[in-house]
Each structure stands twice: as C-alpha cells, then as structure tokens.
Amino acid sequence: MDSPAHRPGARRRVAIGDTGAVVGDGSFLVIAGPCSVESVDGIGRIAESIAASGAGMLRGGAWKPRTSPRSFQGLGADALAMLAAARDQTGLPVVTEVLDPRDAELAAEHADVLQVGARNMSNGALLRELARTGRPILLKRGFGSTIQELLDAADYILAEGNEDILLVERGIRTFEPATRFTLDISAIPVLRERTHLPILVDPSHPAGVARWVPDLALAAAAVGADGVMVEVHDTPQMALSDGEQSLDLDQFRELVVSLDRVLEAVGSRRTVLDGRPGGSPLSVVPTA
C-alpha cells in the first residue's frame, strides 16, 4: 500500500496560524533564532533583529535533547512564555521542539508550529500526540534515516488527520568527519518527486561551524527547497548550546541579502514580515 506522504504533485500549502504566512506556495521561508531560549531579553533582542533582517519565523528551543544529561536542557515552560512574548513584540510566528508527548498541549498553546527533532523522528507516540494538537508539524529527518523512513514518519502525523507537515533535511551521519553531518542536498529534488509536502533545509547542524552555514543555505535555495532554518544568536560565543554553528546578527543579515539574490535568479521569492510588530500579518513579496 502506498504511503499517504508518498503523493507527488502540487505542494501542500501549510498556513502558519493566523499570521498570513504560507509554506509551499512558491515562496521561500527563512526561519531563524537561537538553538535554545536563554532569557527573555536575549530572545527579544534576537527576534527584533532577525525580523528586521527578513526572517519569516522565529525558532527557539524550550526543551533541548542533549547528548549529556549534564548539558543545558532548556528552560521548559518559562521559555515558551518568552517565545510568545517575542512573537507579540515582533509579529514573528514561533516554532519550538517538543520532546515529551505530555508537553504537546502546553507547547501548542504558545507556539505556532511544533518541531519533531532528529532524535524523535521515529517516536510514534510523540508524532501522534503532536498531530492531534492541530498545529503544523516541522518534522526533521533522523541523522541515520532514509528518505523513505522520513516519509513513513510523516504518515504517523497524516494518520491523525493533520496534513500540515513541513519536512526538514538536516544532514545525515556518514563516514566523513570534516563536517558535523553530511547535508544530503540531493534529498530535496528526490522529495519533491516523491511527496506533496513542503521541504525545508537546516544548514546549521550539518555544517557544525558558522562560516559554512551560508553556503549550505544558498544551496538549499538554489536546489528548490521551500525554506531554511538557521541558528542565530546575538553573542554566539556565549550561547549555552550550539554556539559554534550559530550565525551572529550581522552574518544573518548578510545571508538574507545573498538568499534574495539566489531566489531572484531561480525565479522564487522570500516570505517577509511587513514590519509592524504585535502579531502583524506576513506577506509574500517578490525579491528586489
């Protein structure tokens, strides 16, 4: 029996809450923000800067899946409130990762999009619970998973009646140690043939260091992805998690300028905030 996610054709248009943002309509969504929410002032500063630079969505971790239990685990519910405040401040919709099915409803009350991280791509119980919230689900490919396994994971969400899924290629683990992971850029055209779901790229995790992130993001735009999700921090050297691969605010601003050039060359456009804070709608505008 064919997978429900294995349905090529017109892209699924995923509306992000009541913001007016749509993924899968031919525009290119730039999601940016810190790996983890560290303070209310910090997330506010970052959100204001990336909104002014052209981001269309704010990312920030409330709960963090870390290799060591001694590493910073996130601020939990407090971080959700900080993200919601940043959304009110800037109008940027918010995406955050959920690790535990018991936190699904709480996260859905604060975030516009719920993220399933690479470590949880095959966690059926979590996928089902998040799907039932009715929020769009950002589903990252596991670093040891095939493209078909990613689509199988999407089927868990579709089986609950939630068709608002954003697939994310974030790099896979190979024999090559030069980068943190190997970005499978070929996954984007393959997925475009195999599924109707929008496809984003996370260039930060495969790069592992900030200086390589822009080139990978530009490659994603050139190959036909529906957007990118990059880690940005106002002081990366002080970040509590993933500082080495986080762009600073100036680097992010330069990246958006470069992305606009690539998008113009391939006949695409970027989804940008209209500049009015306080939950203002987003609009899709052609690149200059």
Express each pLDDT in 198-250 by its tens digit. Answer: 999 999 999 999 999 999 999 999 999 999 999 999 999 999 999 999 999 99
Higher pLDDT, 10 or 137: 137
Q: What angle do CA 92, 127, 55 make, to 5 degrees?
A: 15
Nearest to 72 by CA among 189, 243, 232, 213: 243
In a domain, 164, yes or no: yes
Report in angstroms the alpha-carbon separations of 62 from 43, 56, 183. 11, 19, 25
pTM over 0.85: yes
In a domain, 5, yes or no: no
The whole-number pLDDT of residue 283 equals 36
The domain that holds 251 is classified in CATH as: 3.20.20.70
Domain of residue 131, residue span: 14-64+73-285
In a domain, 148, yes or no: yes
The whole-number pLDDT of residue 288 equals 34
The whole-number pLDDT of residue 272 equals 64
The count of domains in the chain is 1
* Spatial separation of the C-alpha atoms in residues 48 and 20, rounded to whole Å: 19
In a domain, 4, yes or no: no
Bridge partners (DSSP) listed for residue 59: 95
In a domain, 94, yes or no: yes
Handedness of CA 83, 99, 139, 163 (dihedral sign): negative
Mean pLDDT of the chain: 91
In a domain, 7, yes or no: no
pLDDT in tens, 62-116: 997 766 776 677 799 999 999 999 999 999 999 999 999 999 999 999 999 999 9
In a domain, 106, yes or no: yes
In a domain, 247, yes or no: yes
pLDDT > 50? residue 279: no
- Mean pLDDT for the stretch of residues 119-134: 97
The whole-number pLDDT of residue 6 equals 77
